[in-house]
Amino acid sequence: MSKHTEIRFEEAVEESLINKGGYLKGKASDFEASFALFPEEVLAFIEASQPTRWRSLVNLHGEKAGDVLVGSLVKELASKNALHVLRHGFKCFGKTFRLAYFAPNTGMNPQAAEAYAHNRLRVTRQVHFSERNSQKSLDMVLSVNGLPVVTLELKNPMTGQTVDHAMRQYKRDRDPTESVFRFKERALVHFAVDPDQVFMTTRLSGEKTRFLPFNRGHSFGAGNPPALDGGYRTAYLWEQVLTPDSLMDILARFLHLEVSETKVATKRGVKRHRKEALIFPRYHQLDAVRKLVASARDKGPGHNYLVQHSAGSGKSNSIAWLAHRLSSLHDANDEKVFDTVVVITDRRVLDQQLQNTIYQFEHKQGVVQKIDENTQQLAQALSAAVPVVITTIQKFPFIAQAMDTLAKKGETVSLETGSKRFAVIVDEAHSSQSGETAMELRKVLNRDGIESAIAGEFLDVEEEDLSEEARKALFEEILKRPRQPNISFFAFTATPKYKTQAVFNEPGPDGQPPFHLYSMRQAIEEGFIMDVLANYTTYKTYYGLIKSIEDDPQVPKRKAARALARFMSLHPHNIAQKVEVIVEHFHRHSRHKIGGRAKAMVVTASRLHAVRYKQAFDEYITKRVKEDTRYTGIRSLVAFSGTVADPDFPDQSYTEVGMNDGIKESELPGKFDSEHYQVLLVAEKYQTGFDQPLLHSMYVDKRLAGIQAVQTLSRLNRTAPGKEDTFVLDFVNEPSDVFQAFKPYYEATLAGEESDPQQLYDLQHRLEEAQIFTPDEVNAFAEIWFRNRNEPTAADHQKINTVLDQAVERYKTLDDDEQEEFKGQLASFRNLYGFLAQVIPYQDSGLEKLYSYARFLLSKLPRRKDDTVFKLEDEVSLKYYRLQKISEGSIDLGVGEAEPLYGPREVGTARGEDESVELSTLIGKLNERFGTEFTPADQLFFDQIAESALENETLQEAARANTMDNFSYVFNKMLEGLFIERMDGNEEIFGRLMNDDDFRHLASNHMLRDVYERLRAEKSMP
C-alpha cells in the first residue's frame, strides 16, 4: 500500500499535464504567500511579451520596477478581481500591462497568435500558501503567467482518503481570508479530486462552502464511467479540461461573475441585497457548448440541434455561453459561420443575464440587443446584423408590417437575408417551435433565399390553377416549412416531444439524437434538483350518488358520466373535504419545512374549480383561526385568467385580481414570494416556467398526463437552502400513470418509429373521396386566401365564406357518424401536414392548398347536436362521501423500461353511438370507482374567445408593440384563427360571426377594446 500513496496520484497528474498537456513545471519556493503570486513569473512574462512598456517602466523606476509593477498588480486584483485583470490587463503608472493573451477567433491576425504563444502556464506541487502557518500547503496549483487560477486537492482511496476528505479539507483547513483563497482576487476555482470523482467550487466559505459535481455522468446518472484505456476515471479533468488551451478558453469565454440583487421590505423602507457568484461551467455545460460549436464550425448552417438538459442544468448559462461563441465563430477558412445569433426566449431573467455575461467577455456595448420595443426594432436589428439579438418568436409574423411602417417614416430597412446566415437558439424547444409562427421565423430569416428559389424556378412544384400572385404566396408557404439552408437551430428543453425530436434531429457524437443529454436522473443524483416523486401520496374518493327524482330516465351513458363527474368534482362537500385535508396537512407537516418558509401549490381542474377552492379555503381558515390562532399564518392566493361566471350563481362573476384583494397579475409572483402568503391555488397558470424554490408541497386535484404531469410536478424540484425534501398529495392520478409520464424523461428519451409520409396522401385521398368539397372549391379558396393574405378585404372574407359554405351544406347531409369520421380525418390532415412538412420537403402545392382550406373549413363545420354539456345536477344528490389514503411512499423511476414517444398518426376518430342507459344503472357503475377526467361546464362563447385572445402569445406581443389602431389590424386578421382554436363554442353565435358581417363587426369591435385594454393592464405592458 505504501507504493500507492497520494504522492503517486499527484505525480501521475503532474506528468500528464507536463508531458501531454504542455505545462511548465513550477517551483513551490517561487510562490510569495503575502502577494499570493509567483512574482518572478509575472515579471518574466511581461518582459518577454511587452518589452517596450517594460523598458519604459525600468527607465522610470530602475531596479524597483519589478516591485512597482507587482504592487500595482496586487492593488488592481483587489479592486477589479482576477478575471477582469486577466482579460483586460492592469494599470501601472499610466500604462496598461496585459497579464494574459487569449486565442484569437480567426487565423487572420498573426500578431494575436504570436501574443497568445507568450502565455506561461505552470503546474506547481505542494505550494505553501499561508502567511500564518508555513506548514500548510496545497497539493497542486495551476498558474497563468504567475497568477494562481486553479487549486487542487488530490486524494487516493487506497490510503483511505477520498474526494470527500478533499472537500472537508477545503472547508475546515483552508482559511478563506488567506490571500490565495480570497474570492475573485486570486485562485478562481478549487477542485477536490480522487481517481473516481471530481467536485469544484469557486468560493471558499468554511463549512458553508458548496461544492458542485464536475463529473461526466455514468449510465444516465452521477459519477464517471470506467476509463477505456484502464486509466483513471477522472483523467478527463487534466487531459481535457485543464490543458493550457482549454483552461485559457474557459478563462476567456466561460468563467464570469454573476451579480444578483434582491429587494427586501423593512420598517425603514426597501433594503437591497447584492449577491455575487463566480460561475465556472459544470462539465455537461462545457461539453455541450464545445461540441455544438465544433459541429457548427465543421458543418456550417442548416442543421437542427436538440440539447436535452434537465431542469437544474444551468440552461441559462449554457445559452449565454453558446450565443457568445456562435456570434464570433469562424470556420477553417476564417469565414464567419453566422452573421447573427437570434435567441428566442420569453424569460426576462435570461435577457438580462445573457447581456451581462456577454458584456464581461467582450467589454463593449452593441454586441447584444434586446428587442423590447416593437417589431420595427427587430427588423432594424436583423438588417444591421447585430451579433446577438434577443427576442420573442411572436414578433416575426409582423416583420413585413413593421417594414411598411418604417418605409412610411422614410426609413429604409433591407432584410437581405439570402446572403446572411443565422443561428437561432431556442429557450424551450416545443413551446417555441410549433405552429405557423415558427414557420414565419424561418421565412423571415431566409426571405431572399425563398424568393430566389421561386424566381429561379428551383422549386419543383406543379401548380397551374392559381394566378401568378397567389401562386408565389403559396410557394412561399411551402418553402418556409422545411429546414432552411442558412439557419441552424439550437433547441434546449428538458422534456422533448416526439415532434421536437423529429425536427431537431442532428445526431450527437454517438450517432444518435439528441445531440447532447443531461438527464433528470443525473440532475437528481448530483443534487441540482429535488426528486419530486420521493414522497408521493395518493387519495381516492369514494362516494355514492342517489337519484333525487322518482322516475328513472333514459340518458346517454357517456354524457351522463361526464355530467355526474362534473357534479361530483364541483360539489361543495367534495371541495370542502379536500380543503380540510390540504390545510391540515400543510399546517401540521409542511409549513415548518425550509426553516418555516415552505410554500404550497394546489392544482385545480378548471377556473371554476379554482374559484370554489379559494372560497372554501378562506372559509375554512377563518373558522380554524377562531379555534387556533396558529392558522393565521396560512394565507392563499388564487391564479386564473379572465372572468369566471359561476353557473350556480348567475349574478356572480370572479376575477383573479378581485379574489386576491386587488393584487395585480404582474405582482402576484412577488407577493407569493413574500412571507405573507403560503398557498397558491392555480388553474392552468403557473404550472410551467414558474420558479419558486420555496415550493415544498403540491396538492393535485386535476388529471395530469405526459409532459403536462412532468412540468406541473416539477414546480417543486428547485433547490433552496434548508430544503431537504418535497411532498405531493394527489387526489386524482394513479401512481402508475405518474410513473409513465416521468419515465421517458428520467434517463434518455426514446423516439418511436418515424411517421410514415404516405399517411398524408392516404388521408388526402379519403377526404377527396368523401366528396364534401371539390378541387375547384379548394382552388377558389386558395386563390382568394393567398392573393391577399397580408391585407384581406371585406369582400375577400365574404368570398371565402361563400366557398366554404358549399362544403358545409354537403356535410350537413351526412349522418352523425359520417360527420365525425370526416371531421376527424380533416383535423388529422391539418395536424399531420403541419408537422411532417417541417421534416419532409413535400413541395406539393395540393397538400399546401388543402392544409389552408382544412384550417378554415374545420371552423365552419357544425357540431353534433348532442355535443352540448349534459346536465344532471337537478336529478342526483350526494348520498355519502369518503376520502381514503390509498398509497404513500415514493415512485421509483429507476425500474422498468420507458415507452418511446410517438408522433402524430392518422387514427380512426369516429365515435360509437352513445348508448342509452337507465340513470340508476349508470350511477351504480360510477359509484364503484372514480378517476376519469371530465371537463367543467361550458363558459359563455364570447368569454371563451376573449380568454383565448388573452392567452394568445401573438396577440400579447402585438399589444406590447402597437397602438389600439394598429392592434386592431392584427386582432381582426387573427379572429378566424381564434375561432379555429375554439371549436366548442355556441353554434348559433358562431354561424352569425362567420356569415353576418354586421354582427361580426359589432362583436369584434367589442372584443377588440376589451382584449387590448386587459392585455395592456394585466400584462403590465409599456
- Three-state secondary structure string covering 295-362: HHHHHCCCCEEEEEECCCCCHHHHHHHHHHHHHCCECCCCCECCCEEEEECCCHHHHHHHHHHHHHHH
413, 380 in Cβ contact below 8 A? yes
Which regions of 708-783 does DSSP assign to beta strands (E)?
A: 727-730
**pLDDT (0 to 100) of residue 25:** 97
In the predicted model, what is the mean pLDDT of residues 713-728?
A: 92
Q: Report the 10 Å Cβ neighbour count for 229.
A: 7
**pLDDT (0 to 100) of residue 226:** 92
The segment with the largest mean pLDDT, out of 374-388, 943-957, 1005-1019, is 374-388
Q: Locate cell 416539477: which residue?
A: 714
Rounded to the nearest 10 degrees, the angle between the axes of helix 468-480 and helix 447-455 is 130
Cell numbers linked to 833? 401536414
**pLDDT (0 to 100) of residue 931:** 30
In the predicted model, what is the mean pLDDT of residues 626-642?
A: 90
Q: Out of 26-35, 641-650, 765-774, 804-813, pick the least confident.
A: 641-650
3-state SS string over 620-683?
HHHHHHHHCHHHHHCCEEEECCCEEECCCCCCCEEEHHHHCCCCCHHHHHHHHHCCCCCEEEEC
DSSP code at position 867:
G
Between 296 and 577, name the one with better pLDDT: 296
CA separation, residue 162 to residues 50, 124, 155, 168 (Å): 44, 22, 5, 10
DSSP 3-state assignment of 147? Answer: strand
DSSP code at position 857:
H
310: phi then psi, degrees, rounded to nearest 5 = -65, 160
Rounded to whole angstroms, how far apart are CA atoms 127 and 547?
86
Cell numbers linked to 368? 447584444
Sheet of 212-213, strands arranged across: 24-25, 121-128, 137-144, 147-154, 189-193, 198-201, 212-213
| pLDDT above 70: percentage of residues in the chain | 76
pLDDT in tens, 133-176: 888 999 999 999 999 999 999 999 888 899 999 999 999 999 99
**pLDDT (0 to 100) of residue 875:** 58
10, 154 in Cβ contact below 8 A? yes
Q: Which helix (H) or strand (E) holds 696?
A: strand 695-700
**pLDDT (0 to 100) of residue 633:** 86
pLDDT in tens, 914-924: 555 444 444 34
Rounded to whole angstroms, how far apart are CA atoms 516 and 506?
10
DSSP 3-state assignment of 898? Answer: coil
Q: Report the 10 Å Cβ neighbour count for 413.
A: 17
Name the amino acid, one letter, at 144: V
**pLDDT (0 to 100) of residue 2:** 44
**pLDDT (0 to 100) of residue 392:** 80
pTM of the complete model: 0.77
Q: To 5 degrees, how large is the angle CA 874–CA 880–CA 882?
A: 130
**pLDDT (0 to 100) of residue 680:** 96
In the predicted model, what is the mean pLDDT of residues 645-653?
A: 83
In the predicted model, what is the mean pLDDT of residues 700-726?
A: 90
pLDDT beyond 70 at 851: yes
Cell numbers linked to 71? 504592487
The segment with the largest mean pLDDT, out of 249-253, 408-412, 548-552, is 249-253
In the predicted model, what is the mean pLDDT of residues 184-206?
A: 96
Rounded to whole angstroms, how far apart are CA atoms 188 and 186?
6
224: phi then psi, degrees, rounded to nearest 5 = -135, 145
How far the first Cα of the chain sits from its last, in Å, is 71
DSSP code at position 210:
-
Average per-residue pLDDT for the chain = 81
**pLDDT (0 to 100) of residue 983:** 42
**pLDDT (0 to 100) of residue 550:** 56
Is 428 exposed, middle or buried, given 0-12, 13-18 or 19+ CB atoms closer than 10 A?
buried
514 preceded by cis ω (within 30°)?
Answer: yes
Q: Out of 241-245, 421-425, 867-871, pick the least confident.
A: 867-871
Q: To 5 degrees, how large is the angle CA 66–CA 71–CA 72?
A: 100
Query: pLDDT confidence of 868, banded at 50, 70, 90?
Result: very low
Rounded to whole angstroms, how far apart are CA atoms 837 and 844?
10
Rounded to whole angstroms, how far apart are CA atoms 485 and 483?
7
Q: To 5 degrees, how large is the angle CA 288–CA 247–CA 19?
A: 115
Q: Which residues pair with 878 in a beta bridge?
A: 545
Rounded to whole angstroms, how far apart are CA atoms 738 and 821?
32
Q: Out of 258-267, 388-397, 428-437, 772-781, pick the least confident.
A: 428-437
Cell numbers linked to 234? 477522472
Measured on CA atoms in the order 870, 871, 876, 881, is the torsion positive or negative? Answer: positive
Query: pLDDT confidence of 14, banded at 50, 70, 90?
Result: very high
Cell numbers linked to 35? 502577494
pLDDT beyond 50 at 255: yes
**pLDDT (0 to 100) of residue 731:** 86
pLDDT in tens, 481-511: 777 888 898 989 888 877 777 778 888 888 8
**pLDDT (0 to 100) of residue 740:** 87
DSSP 3-state assignment of 151? Answer: strand
DSSP 3-state assignment of 276? Answer: strand
Is 408 exposed, middle or buried, given 0-12, 13-18 or 19+ CB atoms closer than 10 A?
exposed
In the predicted model, what is the mean pLDDT of residues 4-20?
A: 88
Between 550 and 106, name the one with better pLDDT: 106
Name the amino acid, one letter, at 48: A
Q: Report the 10 Å Cβ neighbour count for 946.
A: 21
**pLDDT (0 to 100) of residue 143:** 98
pLDDT beyond 90 at 185: yes
**pLDDT (0 to 100) of residue 978:** 64
pLDDT in tens, 60-118: 999 999 999 999 999 999 999 999 999 999 999 989 999 999 999 888 888 999 999 99
**pLDDT (0 to 100) of residue 500:** 76
786, 791, 796, 801 alpha-carbon torsion, rounded to 10°: 80
| pLDDT above 90: percentage of residues in the chain | 40
Cell numbers linked to 677? 402568503
Q: Which residues pair with 681 in a beta bridge?
A: 602, 638
The size of the chain, in residues, is 1022
Burial call 174-211: b when 16+ CB within 10 Å, e when fewer: beeebbbbbbbbbbbbbbbbbbebbbbbbbbeeeebeb
Of 589, 649, 578, 653, whose CA–CA distance to 620 is shortest? Answer: 578
pLDDT in tens, 580-595: 888 988 998 899 999 9
Q: To 5 degrees, how large is the angle CA 996–CA 1002–CA 1003?
A: 85
Q: Out of 200-209, 303-312, 424-433, 467-476, pick the least confident.
A: 424-433
| 277 Ramachandran zone, left/alpha/beta (phi>0; psi -120 to 50) | beta
* Beta strand 368-370 pairing with 388-391: parallel
